[in-house]
Amino acid sequence: MPNVVTCNYIGRHELKANLSRVLRDVSTGTAFLVTDRGRVIAELRQPGMVDTSSVSDEDRALARLAAAGLLRVAERRQPAYQPSPIRSKKGLAKALLDADRGK
């Protein structure tokens, strides 16, 4: 039976956006506690993985509190947008604004 290498918290929105990466991590032994609004709602791990000896007592206690709704786990916010890969020459924005303003 494989050991749990690490246990991470992941929000359900982040899980949805990064499902392929998360499943790859799970296949290598990483366990995830899935959260919704700071409350643990699910656990992702390899089938049969029951040895959690490498998970700290603190992480287990935090997971129990979060599952009971007594603790809200912080979730990383997703960026509002992806930066454009298109780059323009330096000063173009200023030149366009100046032209628009009649300067």
Give one word for 41, left, alpha or beta, with left for phi > 0 and alpha for psi -120 to 50.
alpha
Mean pLDDT, residues 71-79 taken together: 72
pLDDT tens across 25-43, in order? Answer: 888 878 888 988 888 888 8
Long-range contacts of 41-50 (CB under 8 A, 24+ apart): 41/12, 44/15, 45/4, 46/2, 48/1, 49/1, 49/2, 49/3, 49/4, 50/1
% of the chain beyond a pLDDT of 90: 22
Q: Do residues 17 and 78 touch, judged by C-beta distance below 8 A?
A: yes
* CA–CA gap between residue 103 and residue 101 (Å, rounded): 6
Domains along the sequence of the chain with CATH = 6-67 (3.40.1620.10)
**Res. 47: pLDDT tops 90:** no
∠ CA 94-95-100 to the nearest 5 degrees? 95
Report residue 54's pLDDT band, with 50, 70 and 90 as the boundaries.
low
